């Protein structure tokens, strides 16, 4: 890994000579003693140091993967805490959109011609839907990795560790809307098996949040979706993935929890489902 290039990428499009924030001009970047950005504030240097979350220690600001600290460039240690905090927050805000690249993640934006995949035994047919392929969580026990790795090999993509790459199907909502008009009206299982719906890249692209809104416009469709409360990225509940205006819920796939009605015995604790129809109020769209 070229640390100089990655440090520059974290700041891009800013570079030495640009202002990180008003009155704070970037003077230099260094990787000799870790990742460091030096800014000039009123004629004095302030070092902003970047570390991995795994390294721990004190910090003034952080992102998903990185910690940000400050210290006086002359070694006197008398940087005003409010100034240091503001500088670190400004740097963290700049770096947050690029930190996946800094950490070595390989993110590809791809366009697909089809999205829904047929699944289930005869008489229990349904579609599956995955807005991402690959994952940035990297669970060692994940059963998807061997299948996804084989697909990457067939596509002659480089061999890289599971958890360090993801393909983003950027046109997935448009393809889904088209397929809902053409394909059999089976339930849709929106619980990806080739990715995690709420891994860090979802913050950037929002595809998991976008998909529940598409079947809402196609009455009669059932959608089994990951429960937002089972994922740390959605602490505010249903509204954070677009379920607040979701249609009235009926049973989707057999054995899955539903948004309305009596809860059946279920195979998964992470799934809720609804049927496209008339809108419901926020109070009646609670996950089961």
Task: Please write the tens of the pLDDT for every residue from 139-179.
Answer: 888 888 888 887 787 777 777 788 888 899 999 999 998 99
Residue listed under structure tokens 């800094």:
102
Residue listed under structure tokens 């979706």:
225
% the chain with pLDDT above 70: 68
Determine the average pLDDT of the residues in 8-14. 86
Determine the average pLDDT of the residues in 73-82. 81
In 3-state terms, what secondary structure has residue 35? strand
Between the CA of residue 261 and those of 226, 244, 282, what are the distances in Å? 18, 17, 15
How far, in Å, CA of 56 to CA of 244, rounded? 37
Contact 258, 242 (CB under 8 A): no
Does the structure show a pLDDT above 90 at 40?
Answer: yes
Strands 126-128 and 66-72, by their bridges, are: unpaired
Contact 197, 96 (CB under 8 A): no
Residue 222's pLDDT band (cuts 50, 70, 90): low
In 3-state terms, what secondary structure has residue 275? strand
Q: Residue 153 CB: number of other CB atoms within 10 A?
A: 11
From edge to edge, which strands make up the β-sheet containing 271-275? Answer: 117-119, 126-128, 188-189, 222-226, 271-275
Contact 127, 119 (CB under 8 A): yes
Read off the pLDDT of residues 233-260 as tens digits, 9 standing for 90 and up: 333 333 344 444 433 332 333 433 333 3
**Greater confidence, 256 or 182?**
182
Residue listed under structure tokens 């416009």:
217
Domain ranges of the chain: 3-102, 106-284
């Amino acid at each position: 890994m070229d640390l100089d290039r990655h440090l520059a990428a974290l700041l891009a499009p800013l570079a030495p000579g640009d202002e990180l924030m008003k009155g704070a001009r970037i003077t230099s970047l260094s990787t000799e003693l870790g990742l460091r950005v030096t800014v000039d504030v009123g004629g004095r240097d302030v070092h902003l140091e970047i570390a991995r979350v795994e390294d721990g220690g004190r910090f003034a600001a952080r992102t998903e993967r990185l910690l940000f600290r400050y210290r006086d460039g002359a070694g006197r240690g008398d940087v005003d805490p409010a100034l240091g905090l503001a500088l670190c927050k400004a740097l963290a805000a700049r770096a947050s959109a690029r930190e996946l690249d800094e950490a070595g993640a390989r993110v590809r934006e791809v366009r697909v011609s089809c999205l829904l995949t047929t699944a289930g035994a005869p008489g229990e047919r349904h579609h599956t839907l995955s807005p991402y392929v690959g994952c940035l969580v990297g669970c060692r026990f994940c059963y998807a990795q061997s299948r996804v790795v084989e697909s990457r090999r067939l596509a002659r993509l480089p061999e890289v560790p599971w958890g360090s790459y993801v393909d983003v199907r950027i046109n997935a909502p448009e393809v889904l809307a088209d397929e809902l008009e053409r394909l059999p009206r089976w339930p849709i299982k929106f619980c990806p098996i080739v990715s995690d719906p709420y891994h860090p890249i979802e913050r950037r692209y929002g595809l998991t949040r976008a998909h529940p809104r598409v079947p809402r416009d196609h009455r009669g469709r059932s959608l089994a979706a990951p429960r937002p409360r089972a994922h740390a990225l959605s602490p505010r509940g249903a509204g954070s993935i677009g379920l607040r205006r979701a249609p009235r819920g009926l049973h989707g796939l057999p054995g899955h929890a539903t948004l309305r009605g009596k809860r059946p015995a279920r195979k998964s604790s992470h799934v809720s489902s609804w049927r496209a129809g008339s809108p419901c109020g926020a109070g009646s769209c609670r996950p089961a």
